[in-house]
């Protein structure tokens, strides 16, 4: 196992009816900016619960944070915070609203042009240089409620870029699984697939000595395989909803990545597909993931075989045989979860995608991705072309 530090200061408040705890969690005598997305919170009762719990607080609202949140929109909130002397931000929404809020939090006191936080990937580590924030999660998927990262799109340059730092953990996140009842099926499917892929990015690498990490990762995968297809049909089932929400948080709250190698190339390529074609985040992962495992087969085959055996109960004559079956099973699961796994099924204009992505990665100096740093631009090209 490699050395690690495990730091996670988020107060994670889980369960039915827990939004009322905002009363105790929100800071007193502080003006609050309530951030939200396109308005789902007004239709499903979440907004009312938040307002009731925050009775007596001075609140300013900032809505309109897009799915795949835009830098240009978020900078408007930065101005409001500066003008209005706001001391705390409350994000009410899915990954996009929480990520957007993290960016706002980092940008307000940033010494320079905040676009650098994204384009130069400046880490936000100074707790005194951010506006503290909490979250009310409405969509289990990203793990943003208990991690310190985010992804923001810059409209002007059509770039989707990751950022983060240890000062960007939510102070608290309230996670009430009943909020998923109002989610469209498409978003439920996305949530399961995003969480599933988060585990694979940190698990499907090469054999190592972190035995417990493997078992924790496999248990999250197994649980998602078990409940994923039914939770999208039956989001009012609390047993399914609560396990789904906890799986999604556990998949990306930092725990399973400690002491192990990780990949993340599926995400890096996938972000380009969202930036180019606005394909939902999870759906880009379903397009790229299996083909990345095919192209990087020699690097990943041992772990693919282990995953196949332990998660899907696969048997086979050789490592290669089991690894190939594991990729097939993964694609089968993605299809079951409503994913269209070819780029051409998700967008019409895709012919130059590989050229575009390879050029971008070269410009950014991303010449060696993956757990062994052997995903070169040529490998990226092969993965993307295989995904057409």
CB 142 to Zn ion: min, Å: 6
CB 207 to ligand NZQ: min, Å: 25
The HSE-up count of residue 246 (CA atoms within 13 Å, CB side) is 15
179 touches, from ligand NZQ, Zn ion, none (C-beta below 5 to 8 Å by class): ligand NZQ
Return the closest-CA partner of residue 234 out of 190, 185, 179, 191.
185
Please state the separation of Cα 181 from the chain's center in Å: 20
CB 235 to Zn ion: min, Å: 20
27 touches, from Zn ion, ligand NZQ, none (C-beta below 5 to 8 Å by class): none
Residue 159: strand pairing partners: 154
Q: Which is nearer to ligand NZQ, 52 or 318 (CB)?
A: 52
Measured torsion, CA atoms of residues 15, 25, 133, 93, in degrees rounded to the nearest 10? 30
144 touches, from ligand NZQ, Zn ion, none (C-beta below 5 to 8 Å by class): ligand NZQ
Give the 3-state secondary structure percentages of the chain, helix then strand then coil, rounded to 5: 55, 10, 35
Distance CA 133, CA 155 (A): 25
Q: Which is nearer to Zn ion, 59 or 255 (CB)?
A: 255
The HSE-up count of residue 47 (CA atoms within 13 Å, CB side) is 15
Q: What is the CA radius of gyration of the chain?
A: 20
CB 36 to ligand NZQ: min, Å: 6
CB 266 to Zn ion: min, Å: 9
Piece of the chain touching Zn ion by CB under 5 A; list 191-199, 220-228, 237-245, 301-309: 191-199
What angle separates helix 211-231 from helix 297-312, to the nearest 10 degrees? 60
Residues in contact with ligand NZQ by the rule CB under 6 A: 37-41, 44, 67-68, 93-97, 99, 138-139, 141-144, 147, 149-151, 179, 182-183, 187, 190, 194, 252, 267, 281
Distance CA 130, CA 107 (A): 8
Which one among 145, 194, 218, 263 touches Zn ion, defined by CB under 5 A? 194
Is the distance from CB of 310 to CB of 218 less than 8 angstroms? yes
Q: Which is nearer to ligand NZQ, 50 or 314 (CB)?
A: 50
CB 37 to ligand NZQ: min, Å: 2
Distance CA 111, CA 93 (A): 28
190 touches, from ligand NZQ, Zn ion, none (C-beta below 5 to 8 Å by class): ligand NZQ
Q: Which is nearer to ligand NZQ, 264 or 297 (CB)?
A: 264
Q: Is 324 among the residues that bind Zn ion (CB under 5 A)?
A: no
78 touches, from ligand NZQ, Zn ion, none (C-beta below 5 to 8 Å by class): none
Distance CA 297, CA 264 (A): 16
CB 269 to Zn ion: min, Å: 12
Residue 325, token pair as written in the block: 């079956």
Q: Which is nearer to Zn ion, 131 or 180 (CB)?
A: 180
Distance CA 37, CA 31 (A): 20
Binding interface with Zn ion (CB under 5 A):
194
């Amino acid at each position: 196992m490699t050395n690690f530090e495990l730091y996670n200061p988020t107060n994670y408040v889980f369960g039915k009816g827990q939004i009322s705890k905002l009363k105790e969690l929100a800071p007193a005598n502080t003006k609050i900016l309530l951030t939200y997305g396109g308005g789902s919170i007004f239709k499903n009762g979440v907004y009312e619960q938040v307002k009731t719990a925050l009775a007596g607080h001075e609140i300013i609202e900032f809505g309109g944070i897009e799915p795949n949140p835009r830098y240009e929109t978020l900078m408007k909130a930065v101005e409001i915070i500066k003008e209005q002397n706001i001391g705390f931000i409350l994000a009410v929404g899915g990954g996009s609203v929480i990520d957007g809020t993290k960016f706002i939090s980092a940008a307000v006191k940033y010494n320079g042009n905040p676009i650098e936080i994204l384009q130069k990937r400046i880490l936000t580590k100074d707790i005194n240089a951010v506006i503290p924030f909490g979250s009310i999660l409405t969509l289990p998927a990203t793990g943003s409620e208990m991690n310190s990262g985010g992804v923001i799109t810059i409209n002007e340059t059509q770039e989707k870029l990751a950022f983060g730092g240890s000062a960007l953990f939510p102070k608290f996140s309230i996670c009430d699984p009943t909020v998923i009842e109002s989610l469209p099926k498409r978003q439920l499917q996305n949530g399961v697939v995003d969480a599933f892929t988060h585990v694979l990015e940190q698990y499907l690498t090469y054999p190592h000595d972190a035995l417990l990490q493997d078992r924790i990762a496999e248990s999250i995968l197994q649980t998602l395989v078990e409940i994923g297809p039914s939770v999208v049909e039956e989001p009012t089932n609390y047993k399914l909803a609560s396990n789904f929400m906890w799986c999604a948080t556990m998949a990306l709250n930092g725990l399973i990545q400690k002491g192990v190698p990780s990949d993340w190339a599926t995400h890096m390529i996938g972000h380009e597909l969202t930036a180019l074609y606005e394909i939902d985040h999870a759906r880009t992962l379903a397009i790229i993931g299996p083909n990345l495992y095919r192209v990087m087969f020699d690097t990943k085959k041992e772990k693919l075989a282990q995953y196949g055996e332990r998660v899907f109960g696969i048997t086979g004559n050789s490592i290669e045989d089991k690894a190939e079956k594991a990729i097939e099973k993964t694609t089968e699961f993605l299809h079951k979860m409503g994913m269209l796994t070819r780029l051409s099924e998700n967008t019409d204009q895709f012919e130059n995608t590989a050229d575009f992505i390879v050029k971008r990665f070269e410009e950014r100096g991303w010449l060696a991705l993956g757990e062994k740093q052997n995903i070169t631009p040529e490998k990226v090209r092969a993965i993307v072309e295989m995904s057409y």
